[in-house]
Amino acid sequence: MSESKNSWRAGMSAVDITPVEPIWLSGWSNRESPSAGVSQRIFVKVLALQSGDDPITILLSSDLMGYSVEFVAEMVDIAEKQFGIDRARIALCATHNHSAPVTTNVLPLYYVFDEKQLEVVKRYTELTVRKFTEAIGKAIADLAPAELSFGQNVAGFATNRRRSRPPEGVFLPQVVDQDVPVLMVKRATGELRGLVFGYACHTTTVNDGTINGDYAGFAQAELESLHPGAVAMFIAGCGGDAGPNPRWRKGFGELYGHVLAQAVEDVLTGHMGIASEPVTGPLNAGDATVTLHFQPPPDRQTLQAMLPGRKTMQLREVQYQIAKLDAGEPLASEYPYPLQVWRFGSGHTFVILSSEVVLDYSLKFKQSFGCDTTWVMAYANEHIAYIPSQRILTEGGYEGAAGMMECGFPGPFTGDIESTIVDKVETLYRQTEPKIATHDHHNKGNQ
């Protein structure tokens, strides 16, 4: 392998996407009014990477809740036509922030808008497309020789919400992933260009009606204040069944942001012996779509029997399925689910999964591919529903069953969802293996 393959060029950007007018906030269906001001500005951030003469790879994350299928398709098309970025080499991540503006067709059953509100959401969605495009272009323009390194710490405020959230009862045992993975980007001169970091926990600490980035936004802001000129970029992990606890208390967004920022800072400084390792190229990228199946849907009679006593979104989610049947449309039986795997010459692996993935997937892939070298990202690309594991499907509850209809689907996924996703990720892992020798300890998860 030539030396150029192990040399990086990296670029980063941050573009403000704070709305300029009051707009409905995303994530919770019980809100009754648009945003009440801005307590923190929100951003889209991009890391552009190129190893030697290989194609450019784009990792993007924004302080939004998620993206629609249509939004992702438009951005992928722009990335390919304007910047020559292959589909496998662009990941569109979101922090899943519940204090962010609503965008078009993301969980549409959550909200009832009049024409004026719909226009506000449409204008903002169009603005984000332009801003995302600008951010990609700026990151590519910023490409310069760089050194990458990877390390991990832990932060303790994430809890398994199936354990901590009433009234669904207590499920035991429960899992949690409190790792804080950190990718450090330094210029060849030694200057810190940016930090990409993650955590597997819902960004639902703040619920005060204002626009802000929640704990992820506060962590990014603190790190950028500690390192002027650097970009701090948050990537949400498999936190579909994890949440901050306690929450909804004044100052806790800043508190958890500080805890997370300090965990990242410890990786950067090597505090208490925390080690990081160089990340070398090449970067091999693979993507695929797998078909996820739904359990047999209810018939019209069953749906009709579900209506009495339901209100607001719980009523709309059943009415939506009935309306589909009345229009002669079949209820959903399957969904094409996109996923990606990026592998580096140094043995590091990024597994990139769409939508609200639960913790079991993160733990599974870390065990399989190496806990010290594997980063499992979620809330990437399109936001459709919870992605449960076999464990959660067996237990039932919100993430496995009750939460599906509010996402526009007639019922739970079938029991083979976990094996379907795991098998395809493992296939992509093999297909993207760099043709370069790696250190033995990087492969310990495969022994």
Q: Are residues 64 and 97 in the same domain?
A: yes
8 A C-beta contact, residue 94 and residue 67? yes
Residues in the chain: 447
Q: Are residues 262 and 318 in the same domain?
A: no
Q: Are residues 8 and 124 in the same domain?
A: yes
Which whole number is the average pLDDT over 381-387?
Answer: 95
The answer as to whether 287 is a domain residue is: no
Q: Are residues 73 and 201 in the same domain?
A: yes
Say whether pLDDT at 45 is over 70: yes
- Top-ranked range on mean pLDDT: pick from 29-33, 109-113, 209-213: 209-213
Q: Are residues 83 and 48 in the same domain?
A: yes
Q: Are residues 198 and 253 in the same domain?
A: yes
Q: Are residues 311 and 208 in the same domain?
A: no
- Taking the alpha carbons at both ends of the chain, their separation in whole angstroms is 25
pLDDT, tens digit (0-9, with 9 covering 90-100), for 85-142: 999 999 999 999 999 999 999 999 999 999 999 999 999 999 999 999 999 999 999 9
Say whether pLDDT at 437 is over 50: no
Say whether pLDDT at 377 is over 90: yes
pLDDT, tens digit (0-9, with 9 covering 90-100), for 311-343: 988 999 999 999 999 999 999 999 999 999 999
From the list 383, 443, 292, 417, the residue with the least C-alpha distance to 71 is: 383
DSSP class of 101 = B
The answer as to whether 325 is a domain residue is: yes
Tokens of 112: 């009832």
8 A C-beta contact, residue 174 and residue 212? no
Q: Are residues 120 and 199 in the same domain?
A: yes
Q: How confident is the model at residue 433 (pLDDT cuts 50, 70, 90)?
A: very high
Whole-angstrom distance, CA of residue 439 vs CA of residue 445: 12
Whole-angstrom distance, CA of residue 120 vs CA of residue 275: 47
pLDDT of residue 99: 96
Q: Are residues 243 and 158 in the same domain?
A: yes
pLDDT of residue 234: 98
DSSP class of 42 = -
Angle, helix 115-141 to helix 69-83, in steps of 10 degrees: 30
Q: Are residues 64 and 83 in the same domain?
A: yes
pLDDT of residue 169: 58
pLDDT of residue 44: 98
pLDDT, tens digit (0-9, with 9 covering 90-100), for 273-325: 898 999 999 999 999 999 999 999 999 999 999 999 999 889 999 999 999 99
pLDDT of residue 442: 44
Q: Are residues 130 and 247 in the same domain?
A: yes
Number of domains in the chain: 2
The answer as to whether 336 is a domain residue is: no
pLDDT of residue 443: 43
Q: Are residues 196 and 314 in the same domain?
A: no
Angle, helix 359-369 to helix 417-431, in steps of 10 degrees: 40
The answer as to whether 378 is a domain residue is: yes
Say whether pLDDT at 349 is over 50: yes
pTM for the full predicted model = 0.93
Q: What's the domain range around 131?
A: 3-281+341-402+414-446
The answer as to whether 286 is a domain residue is: no
Q: How confident is the model at residue 162 (pLDDT cuts 50, 70, 90)?
A: confident
Instruction: List the beta bridge partners of residue 243.
Output: 159
Tokens of 64: 């939004």
Say whether pLDDT at 30 is over 90: no
The answer as to whether 291 is a domain residue is: no
The answer as to whether 245 is a domain residue is: yes
> Which stretches of 286-413 are DSSP H helices?
300-305, 312-326, 359-369, 390-395
Determine what percent of the chain is predicted with pLDDT higher than 90.
Answer: 83
From the list 313, 330, 312, the residue with the least C-alpha distance to 321 is: 330
Beta strands 276-279 and 144-154 are: antiparallel
